[in-house]
Amino acid sequence: MSSLNKAMVIGNLGADPEVRYTSNNTAVATLSVATSERYRDNNGELQERTEWHRIIAWGKLAELCQNYLKKGNKAYFEGPIQTRQWEDKDGQKRYTTEIKALNIVLLTPPGQGSSGGDYSSSGAASKPGIAASGDVNNFSDNTLNEVEDDLPF
């Protein structure tokens, strides 16, 4: 069997996406996403632990993040985990581990969450629960209906 590198995260954005452009004008979005876990400690008290994830999206997917995701929105992110290395201005090696988003599903309904935004301004993401992927040409409002119609029950 070959290897598999795939992360799936459902969480809330801790800030609006930060979008910048490479020298060849490719959009890159950086997102900070929180996931929380609730559990009872040894004393029976309810505790909550939050984990922060750094997520990167490229190209048209990055632009969709900029247009449709806001602080507080809930979304599903899927893609490989990757670690990058670079040298800072002092010559020190630095590392970061991130999830390279290949698929994103918007889970916050329009008008809800801290953005209060309306996804209907573009046909590309007119309602929550519709998946966006790196291949935006295949992105349509019928995506979920097609999948549901194939279910055997």
Looking at residue 13, which CATH number applies to its domain? 2.40.50.140
Which pLDDT score, from 0 to 100, does residue 152 have? 47
Does residue 76 fall inside a structural domain? Answer: yes
- The residues near 36 (Cβ < 8 Å, ≥ 6 apart) are 11, 48, 49, 50, 51
Tokens of 65: 């993040």
According to the model, what pLDDT value does residue 111 have? 65
Asked if residue 142 belongs to a domain, the reply is yes
**Domain assignment present for 106:** yes
10-residue mean pLDDT profile of the chain (153 residues): values are 94 97 96 96 95 97 94 96 94 95 90 47 43 42 38 44
Has residue 1 been placed in a domain? no
- Please give the residue range of the domain that contains residue 88: 7-149
To the question of pTM greater than 0.85 for the whole model, the response is no
Alpha carbon distance 148, 127 (integer Å): 16
Question: Does residue 2 belong to any structural domain of this protein?
Answer: no
Domains in the chain, number: 1
